[in-house]
Amino acid sequence: MEKRQIGNSDLFVSKMGLGCMSLGTEEKAAKEIVQHALKNGINYLDTADLYDFGQNEEIVGKAIREVRDDVILATKVGNRWDDVEDGWRWDPSKSYIKSAVKKSLSRMKVDYIDLYQLHGGTIEDHFEETIEAFEELKSEGLIRHYGISSIRPNVIKRFLMSSSIESVMMQYSLLDRRPEEWMDLLDENKVGVIARGPLAKGLLSEKMLSKASAKMKENGYLDYSYQELQETIESIHGKMGDTRSMNELALQYDLAHDSVAAVIPGASSIQQLQENIDAVNASPLSPEEVDILKQLTKLSRYGQHRE
């Protein structure tokens, strides 16, 4: 599988990574999915300490034990559950990040993390100490590089101005084109986009509208009403479905943008994973196909958290 560089770093990742949140807690099945990914050229795995409250990291660590040095391993920090009775709370403090990384390393039984990401963030955070924590972890050799997972414009701009992040993970799909507004700025700063949610909760998979939840049918999806959602998905399928699968159109659309270092769809089965592998290994979209898809979808804009 083709590899792409994350930002200006020495991390070269398969253009499709495996988003590990959907692996589940059945260790044998999860391990089989990870191993299938690795056998098919995927070298980039993305987890988080929050997923299944650490169990996901444990499972991923066990699955890559024999091939650790061949894998680009990414995880996230900032959502703290060790001092609350139910759920978690946000904590981007230096002290917490520096303690949490050691717990992640211990759960995965690895010596270092390739890409450590802040799992959210607000403009009110004391971002200076957050950045200081990441920089110290780099100098200590516990992480190789760091990034953020955020769609908030003011947070992204603050980190671009003040840190040496290599990546910004953003929800990005044909039905959520908000990241396109920031691609020129990210390119100028040599920061790569990691595209999560490229299949838009399954709406852009072959199952299409059958994946729409009751809430989605009532409220729509982002700035699409449910009727608009139906019309848009049906128009994409009607216009281009004869020559390409919906998975192909969705994943290849994201990958058509040079800013995107990787797409990271999740997978809860080998079949689902293989469908996505086939989709990213298909021929890239032509400029004409990209233009058609842009005409059929909305160029959304993030309205909040701008200044």
The pLDDT tens digits for 30-65 are: 999 999 999 999 999 999 999 888 899 999 999 999
Predicted pLDDT of residue 82: 78
Domain holding 128, by residue range, is 3-201+247-285
For the cut 90, the answer to whether the pLDDT of residue 143 exceeds it is yes
CA angle (167, 290, 1) in 5-degree steps = 55
For residue 86, what is the DSSP state? S
216 in any annotated domain = no
CATH code assigned at 38: 3.20.20.100
Catalytic residue among 44, 51, 116, 253: 51
Our measurement of the distance from residue 40's CA atom to the centroid of its chain's CA atoms, rounded to an integer in Å, reads: 19
99 in any annotated domain = yes
296 in any annotated domain = no
78 in any annotated domain = yes
233 in any annotated domain = no
Residue range 176-196: mean pLDDT, rounded: 96
Predicted pLDDT of residue 80: 84
For the cut 80, the answer to whether the pLDDT of residue 76 exceeds it is yes
| Strands 3-5 vs 12-14: parallel, antiparallel or unpaired | antiparallel
For the cut 80, the answer to whether the pLDDT of residue 81 exceeds it is no
23 in any annotated domain = yes
87 in any annotated domain = yes
CA angle (213, 295, 284) in 5-degree steps = 85
Q: Considering its fold, how many domains does the chain have in total?
A: 1
The closest of 60, 7, 17, 1 to 264, measured between CA atoms, is 17
Predicted pLDDT of residue 306: 86
Q: Is 51 a catalytic residue?
A: yes
Residue range 174-182: mean pLDDT, rounded: 96
101 in any annotated domain = yes
The span from the CA of 214 to the CA of 235, in Å, is 22
Task: Give the helix ranges, DSSP H, for the chain.
Answer: 27-39, 55-63, 94-108, 127-139, 153-162, 183-188, 214-219, 226-240, 246-255, 270-281, 287-296
